[in-house]
Amino acid sequence: MVADDAIVARDGTRLPLRHWDAEDKPRAVIVALHGMSDYSNAFDVPGKVWAKSGITTIAYDQRGFGRSEKPGLWAGAQAMRADLVDVVAAARARYRGVPVFVLGESMGGAVVLTALACADAPESICTPSAADGVILVAPAVWSRGDMPLTYRAALFLGAHLVPGMILSNNAAGRVVKIIPSDNVPMLQALGRDPLFQKKTRTDTLFGLVNLMDEVRTASQAIKIAPPILFLYGANDQIIPPAPTQAVIEALGSKAPQIPFEVKRYEHGYHMLLRDLDGESVDKDVADWVLAQVRH
């Protein structure tokens, strides 16, 4: 069930949502999934851009994030995929006859990708192929196999020995400066936003890495899927280039059965939609969505 400010998932969990409505009858709907530590407000600027193009955007706080229940606790990839399917179904019911697209940013992209791999399975959580298209924005694809052994060992020990230990999202920045975006005012605003998580539990980080492990398998296993648009920045310092290229190659190998398009932004960072040049990326998304609608 979907209302103006929340969707109630199949298990009764309430997921707060935001929406940016096209002025007239929408030409398309985007269901948007945010990244790690973030929440639905991540799509405030893109949602307004897409609304001007006749596209309505629905974004919800994934479990454990934003204003959802139990913030900071990892809900599990299966529950997150089930929520995705519930929101897509609700969007289809609310906007009957209007094409529905799914967009996943970073962690949200990993949720979408792993759900697509189950598209031909009988489980109801594995049917996001009901969407008319998929947009992956800097998806989180950094699996254990791509990580140094020291990272993997520390993550395992932390998650199993001290799962509730809190890690500051700025801790790595004290040693190596990681820049998620060139939009400094936006990053400063996130630093002041009480709903943007500044700290992460070790077991939540472990859950995220488990999800990214699934992505690598999923990218090989996908058999049936709607058209896919894959966007990434040349300056992404969050997801290394090697795993990104591996997933691009895996998805690209399925063309033309699954239409697949890649856009690389030379000046883009991880938070592509909100970078200084984000509005041009937002426009590319709108153009691609409307092109699919015309087809």
On the 0-12 / 13-18 / 19+ scale of CB atoms within 10 A, 147 is middle
Q: Which of 80-84, 119-123, 163-167 has the highest mean pLDDT?
A: 80-84
Give me the residue spans of the domains in the chain: 6-294
Do residues 265 and 234 touch, judged by C-beta distance below 8 A?
A: yes
pLDDT of 107 above 60: yes
What per-residue confidence (pLDDT) applies to 204?
86
For 6-294, give the CATH class.
Answer: alpha beta
pLDDT digits (tens, 9 = 90+) for 170-187: 544 444 478 999 999 999
The dihedral region occupied by 12, where left means phi > 0, alpha psi between -120 and 50, and beta the remainder, is left
pLDDT of 59 above 90: yes
- Give the closest residue to 61 by CA, choosing from 82, 100, 90, 33: 33
What per-residue confidence (pLDDT) applies to 143?
72
pLDDT digits (tens, 9 = 90+) for 251-291: 999 888 889 999 999 999 999 999 999 999 999 999 999 99
What per-residue confidence (pLDDT) applies to 154?
52
Mean pLDDT of all residues belonging to the chain: 86
What per-residue confidence (pLDDT) applies to 130?
76
Q: Return the bridge partners of 14, or none.
A: 8
Locate the DSSP E strands across 97-197.
100-105, 133-137, 166-168
- Give the closest residue to 272 by CA, choosing from 227, 228, 239: 239
